[in-house]
Amino acid sequence: MLSPLTEEYVAVMTTPQRFAYFLFSTAVISLLSCQPKGKLTEEEAELLFAHEVYPILQEKCFACHGDKPSKIEGDFNIHTLEGALAGGESGRITLTPGNAEKSLIYEAVTWQNSDFEMPPKENDRLTDAQVSLVKNWINAGAPWPNDERRAYLVENTEWHYSDGIKVKTSEALSATWQNRRYRPEDLWGFQPVQDYAVPKDYLTESGHPVDAFIQRKLGEYAIEPAPPADKPTLIRRATFDLTGLPPTPEEVNAFVNDSSPDAYEKLIDRLLASPHYGERWGRHWLDVVRYADTDGYSNDFERPNAWRYRDYVIRSFNDDKPYNQFIREQIAGDEIDPTNPEMLVAVGYLRMGPWEHTAMSVAAETRQLFLDDVTNSVGETFMAIPLRCASCHDHKFDPIPTRDYYRIQASFAPVQFAEREADYLPSENQTGFEAGKVRLERLIAEAEQAQWAIYEKEENAARRWMTQQGLKYLPPKQRKALPENQQPPRFYGLTDHDLGYRKVLQKRLQVLRHQLKRYDPLAYSVYNGAVVDNPHSGRPMKVPDSVSSNIQSTFILSGGSVHAPDQEVTPGVLSAIRTFTESVESPIQDSVPDSRDGRRIALAKWLASADNPLTTRSIVNRIWQYHFGQGLAGNANNFGVMGKKPTHPELLDWLTTYFIEHGWSFKEMHRLIMTSETYQRSSTHPDTKQVNEVDPNNHWLAYYSPRRLTAEELRDAMLVVSGELNTEMGGLPIKPEINREVAMQPRHIMGSIAPAYQPSRTPQERNRRTIYTYHYRGMPNPMLEVFNQPNSDLSCEARIASTVTPQVFTLFNGQNSYNRALAMAHQLEQRDQSLESQIKRAINLAWNRSAEPQEVQTSADFVEKMVAYHQENEPIDPEYPVEVERTMFEEMTGEEFSYTERLDMYEDYVADIAPSEVPSETRALADLCRVLFNANEFVYVY
């Protein structure tokens, strides 16, 4: 083994040197892990030969040195022990039992001597692991049991279970990941949560424990904290953080004028009790689990009932469901209580990733893509550890061997997709079901009628052809039995347009019939059973009448390829957690059964254990991150070596302990964090220069870091201040208006063009909160995308906030911004008669504070100028098309064809208020509202 470097030497190494040493030592130790733990017994050496060495000789050597006695290269016959000992024409000793270094056979397979490189072809060389096995066998005395003994060993002692993995007996002697070298500080996330005491010497006057930890770190860097934020800033900050919406002017005034000592605590309690809390914090969770209403990939099929999982998440947060229960329900709800619709909906989490299977897919590969996806998702979502890196090889940085990856994956081997019958709960919103169902049935009937017209045209042509040939007309199915010369030519009587449009209709019907399932009481769910022969995107999948217990076996896949299975594994968990928690009083339970049912329950219990340091720390870190913009550990999805280390490790562990002791309650954590002085600090510091020099990224939290509103908050806030927000909760996703060019552009799906994006018919539907909007994978909402709404293919550990020019165009010139501004101006005029009052109210609504006199005057001057402009310029109202022309190329002939797509939603569309419907004064005031939307005070939380 490598000798560990002294601490003194490591201390003076540069970062590149440390990294290079880490990679080098890891590589060397990985090779050495093939070495047995001690001297092999005689029986172990025989097993090693029978299971490992002899197959290597068969594959690599016998073709030239043993299979054909009449053709022995170099007079060296390695087919028997006698031949191996005798050597060949070189006269060198080929095999020296007990000493590999003096054996020519070992020298040859290691290519140490250019005269003896065996096998001679580079591509046939033994791997490092194979060389190590040969060396171990020779050093163990090179036993060579006869054919009868070897056959017995292979037949009766082929497999040995070691730590839950089905391995060959000789391989059970290999070392585990524990023999690799890691710096303890790199494995902080895997180690048990420590019970740190609050540093009482740093308690502030409020006595808040969070502040004590923060103050101790500030003291180390001689940084004074910023003063408290003022009350208008504080209520805006807290309201956005807990509900994702701005406070109303009335709420701000009530809080500012409440002089009671518990005014702030009452504010927090009111916000936590709001149903909007679940919508805001449910959005955070949906970011992590990659929620979308479509599958993605080439067809981007709708997930008709996925919205029920979205609403389950929102309910769970509003109910303050204990997080450990939340975990168990999403991993194994159907196993916990298959009669409970809520549990069947909850496991929709397992299907949140992108997925598609078509006639051109390889079923085994599609299946493996799902298993890899869900395994990695569980790691990132619940443990803040990406696992995908271990699918091909032992993780290069973290203590996660490949076998652990596949043992976790084995817990999902019985999982099969199904839309399961699950009655709607009384709390689930079914508004619009009947109208939506009627619309889809009408569209299906219209498409079937058009399809039938093409069929009749083809059959009429077939009748004419058969009559001309003197043949009796037969329908298509019966004609198949006729000789080819008695059948009309393929596609006879159809034009290129007919051929192409028929395929368009086939795809449209497939999409529409699938969408119709959104009105059925089904859960986007799973069940346990054997692998389904032909799962297919776009088709509802059901639980079979008879569920097989013949569960898919799980193998370690060489290179991660489903076509290269190696060792079979049983279900299990991360071995590193058990290693680090062996010393705790109540070690974490990590046994997972090998039966069809119960695997996920066991995995969920392990994940949701109070003794699982990754799970407990990761969720606390996420909560902190969503309040402060950065986690105590900087990568919420990666607590491994390559993730950022915690800035306040003692505080993270103390909060984790608090979270568990207080019932795994999110709301209790909010109260704790938000009542701290740290959270309530001003976003400006009196000594900015000194703080920026010492702590440019504000890791030590001397002040509150301002943050930009997320895409959803921005849209929702405009709806609030314009008076248009529909606060109805839950139910089917709605479609707001989006950029017309994007909505109408031809969006190709497999074999056709996707239906055009059509917004929901009424403003009441369109103006619901953004969390309830339809979330396409293949066509993001342009307004939300430009403000960094994350892609749903990957788990989002934290929203980014880029600043790019298209954002300016979106807020100033976008149709959505203008519609909200016009509605806001109309509302202001309905409430107040004077321009001054309208301006004061507008600023109060948008910026959550009173207007300054100069702001009122400047705004009034601007409005007056814009009135003159609008009096001289006629308004332009938006136009809504009722159809769109599509052009494609028919794939059989390559000829162009066109068809008209009907846009039925626009036929009785209820538009937003139009510019022509209001006077020039209203349009001028709307211009001011757009200016307010673009101000930092609206776009940022301070």
**HEC profile for 625-690?**
HHHHCCCCCCCCCCCCCCCCCCCCHHHHHHHHHHHHHCCCCHHHHHHHHHCCCCCCECCCCCCHHH
Rounded to whole angstroms, the Cα distance separating 551 from 570 reads 12
Residues of the chain with confidence (pLDDT) below 50: 1-37, 158-176
Query: Which of 358, 403, 305, 320 has the alpha carbon at shortest distance from 33?
Result: 403
CB 79 within 8 A of CB 67: yes
Q: Which two tokens stand for residue 186?
A: 């790199």
Rounded to whole angstroms, the Cα distance separating 43 from 156 reads 13
pTM: 0.83
User: b or e along 294-321 (b: 16 or more beta carbons within 10 Å of the residue's beta carbon)?
Assistant: bbbbbbbbbbbbbbbbbbbbbbbbbebb
CB 386 within 8 A of CB 405: no
Q: Which two tokens stand for residue 744?
A: 């109408």
Cα separations in angstroms, 57 against 118, 233, 799: 11, 76, 56
State the sign of the Cα–Cα–Cα–Cα dihedral 830, 832, 838, 842.
negative
How much is the pLDDT for 174? 35
Rounded to whole angstroms, the Cα distance separating 515 from 237 reads 40
How much is the pLDDT for 586? 57
